[in-house]
Structure 1
């Protein structure tokens, strides 16, 4: 009887299967990485600290590995030769995981080859705000003990960057205080205001807590701190009332938290995008908008600070100045960044009343406007306009003379003058562009002109 070909195939496959099982049976199974998420706590549990340290690495940015007290963090993929970034959240009213944390960590690991450690203190930060404040010192001590173990492994103090959100910013300041200001950097994202505006330097974030301290302020009239707390303090859109945030309490929770959380989303945007979030030192937001702070010479010697993972925020002078207020405008949605420009109008003839002129930049159907005022018996008025596109991509400028209100008759006044503009920072007149001819503006009528600026 002829052998069945299927029988031969069966024995061949059986032999291969036996060999494959035998060859792997002696090898130890590949250990599965255990991922740990943030804790959840209810209002009754929000007194104990229960801090967890979750390690995220470039090789697995979506998996947080719980660092146990007795474990060697290097076995979890911690790389001693890389920088280390600690992310500390703030008060958690409902005891839930921060909604922004996953995106924040992913953006950090995308932007930097670093170890990222998220500090989960949801239990200690929920319930009553004042109870969370009382836990700040305890958490600061616990983080300090954790960092001391990293230093034993060979991590340098200067390679540690703490990023604290709201109350977490002051936790970072406490840790920096324990290390006598020798940590590399602390970034405070709208550091908390309640209980901290009048606190001592030892109790809150301040420039002495790290080699470089920066803070981004977005809600100084509510949940954020008003005073400067870093070497560089960014007051975004003046530090309050962020564009796109609700202006009515009828919006509920979003009305309370939107301005405060804008600092987090702006920082994420800075990590994800290459567009500039550059700011300019000035005595006040009003003075900045009036066009009186056009460069960064004083005190930064022309190196304008920028939000994001830029060494010392782009500031290149030593020693670093302290508590410098810098201002910038943003759009209402991500990526938030704009290009600031100076706009000026020179009247050919003096007037006996204020002259208000609205300037509008247009590019790709996007319009940005600002109104500049020329005081009575003066020829010159200026202001700052913010546009999502650089000047060389702006196609058109529109000018409109806004007359004084006259109910009884139409205002037919005509003003004549020169329009000029320059991108910030303005170091000299070389980048100033003016319309070639004087502009005639009749009250309430819009005049359009092409704007041709070469990209450099």
Structure 2
């Protein structure tokens, strides 16, 4: 995505200045059908209003999934006479900065996804009045907002709710508000999820002023915009850096102004909702940094630790955060595709030369399925024989049909007479099953400069989908094999002591 973080901040301010939202207050309450409940909705605010902090809590359960029940903390009966059930887990949603003073567009989808994943009470914290237009003022309101949320939790504890059953989900500024609430309860809150926690005003803040692993039994954060609105440092027990934590594929260019400004930041919310709905699995791979991850150095999952390759919105975490107690924090990396729902299978690509060359070799690789394709480049440094990279594809390995390899030529190589390279090509879906398993073309291949060479990867059972359902699906499909210069089929090769 083009443009720096500061450019996007200026663009956001310019966009806000063009919008005149001068009305405020609650939407008129309406009666819920077939219920004695009165439905309430979010407040609205405007950029020219005083924007004083006003907090309201809206309860959603399976019984009133589309009807927010207003919880009045000064009237205990507003909870007792509601569908709230203290034996259920309780999810508390806290939104972030509101540029235009409107209800967050993702609230309804998040409530629906949470209630679809677990039987729970979902409380949406509405602080639109207090978070609109003036970012610095919204930051200053965070401590008071946290006090209000803590007051809510104390009311719930009086009704028999346990601290461990509480799960706070904070978006942007809301993530740090959740952290402050967690501090107030001595880190005994069960679970905090930070969705792209805000970076501005918080990156240099101390742990007591922002989200921190000590704020709950289990703290996780999903990072998607670390070069602009999101924080770039780890703030949880597990920090997911999606696509390296920045420049999300599929986000629009500057020509689509509002989407360009906010897309990366909000991708964390979309990913979390998708994971809750079970549409696909977003698995992270522990690695020192994104560069090493992309170079194929972090492709395994340790069998000794359940957190070696954690998954976003795992059922076990949602049900019991204590299943994720760990002794040290972890940074994990993963990739997505560019199209909603952004599901991706990670492929490790390896090309090994028959002999080292005196210059860096770059090989372009494209993996094709029946409906899509993904591209990556493998670089082999001067004097080395092996190059690796990781590629994201929207189908599993056993549904891939063709690999297209190209060795770009150059004038220098032409004059030196080095227009060909030979070697072996291997691919495997991550995580590798047993650390040394790769699926390789059975014969040495020769790539001629600038020519495209196609190889058939038609699944015949030997590629082994990680998902048995998908494997069955692939093995029963009838697809015409793609044509090309060669018609190889991958075979399983045990590579001794691969550097992974």
Normalised to the residue count of structure 1, the TM-score between the two structures is 0.89
2:38 to 34, 39, 42: 34
| Structure 1 equivalent of residue 399 of structure 2 | 393
Give 1:103 shift: 1.2
Assess, with a 3 A threshold, how the Cα gap between structure 1 residues 318 and 262 changes in structure 2: closer, same or farther: closer
In the alignment, the residues of structure 1 paired with residue 135 and residue 324 of structure 2 have an alpha-carbon distance, to the nearest angstrom, of 39
In the alignment, is the contact (CA less than 8 A) between 1:236 and 1:329 conserved in 2?
Answer: yes
In structure 2, C-alpha distance between the alignment counterparts of 1:317 and 1:79, rounded to whole Å: 23
Rounded to whole Å, the distance in 2 between the matches of 1:323 and 1:190 is 17
> Which residue number in structure 2 is paired with residue 54 of structure 1?
58
The separation in 1 between residues aligned to 2:149 and 2:50, in whole angstroms, is 19
| Greater mean alpha carbon deviation, residues 312-321 or residues 283-292 | 312-321
Distance in 1 of aligned mates of 2:59 and 2:336: 33
Report what 1:414 is aligned to.
420
Q: Which moved more, 1:263-272 or 1:172-181?
A: 263-272
Secondary structure of the 1:124 match is: coil
Matched, 1:132 2:138: yes
Matches within 5 A, 1:246-395: 246-248=252-254, 250-297=255-302, 300=305, 303-312=308-317, 319-395=325-401
Aligned twin of 1:80: 86
**Who is 2:245 aligned against?**
239
415-424 or 37-46, larger mean C-alpha shift = 37-46
Distance verdict in 2 for CA 1:315–1:142, change over 3 Å: closer
What SS does structure 1 have at the residue aligned with 2:407?
A: strand
Question: Which aligned pairs between 1:180-191 and structure 2 lie closer than 5 A?
Answer: 180-191=186-197
How far does the alpha carbon of each residue in 1:291-347 deviate from its partner, in whole angstroms, 9 at most, with x for none? 111123399467411112433489998751444211000011222121112110111
Give the corresponding residue for 1:454.
464
Structure 1 position 427, deviation (Å): 5.0
Stretch of structure 1 that moved more, 330-339 or 158-167? 330-339
Going from structure 1 to structure 2, the CA distance change for 1:317 and 1:428 (only over 3 Å counts) comes to farther
SS in 2 for 1:45: coil
Unaligned runs of 5+ in 2: 1-33, 469-500
Return the offset for 1:406.
5.1
Decide whether aligned partners of structure 1 residues 316 and 335 sit closer, same or farther in structure 2, where only a CA change above 3 A counts: farther
CA distance in 2, matches of 1:421, 1:77: 52
| 1:360 alignment partner, SS class | strand
Q: Which residue of 1 aligns with 2:477?
A: none
Structure 1: stretches of 5+ with no match in the other structure: 1-29
Cα separation, 2, equivalents of 1:113 and 1:302: 24
The residue that corresponds to 1:205 in the other structure is: 211
Deviation, 1:251, is 2.4
Instruction: Report the CA distance shift for 1:141/1:429 in structure 2 as closer, same or farther (over 3 A).
Output: closer
For residues 424 and 163 of structure 2, the distance between their equivalents in structure 1, rounded to whole angstroms, comes to 55
Aligned equivalents of 1:44, 1:287: Cα separation in 2: 48
Distance 1:423 1:132 in 2: 44
> Would you say the 8 A contact 1:281–1:324 is kept in 2?
yes
Q: Is the 8 A contact 1:290 1:382 kept in 2?
A: yes
2:185 matched to which residue of 1? Answer: 179
Q: 1:85–1:116: 8 Å Cα contact kept in structure 2?
A: yes
- For the 8 Å contact 1:361–1:368, the answer to whether it is kept is yes
SS for the counterpart of 1:107 is helix
RMSD: 2.3
Deviations 1:124-163 (A, max 9, x none): 1113101111110001011101101111111110110000
- Matched with 2:156 is 150
Following TM superposition, by how much is the alpha carbon of 1:274 offset from its aligned partner in structure 2, in angstroms?
A: 3.8
Report what 1:13 is aligned to: none
Partner residue of 1:225? 231
Q: Once the two structures are superposed, what CA deviation does each residue of 1:187-238 show, in whole Å capped at 9, x if it has no partner?
A: 0000000100011111100000000000000000100001000000011101
Residue 122 (str. 1) matches residue 128 (str. 2):
yes
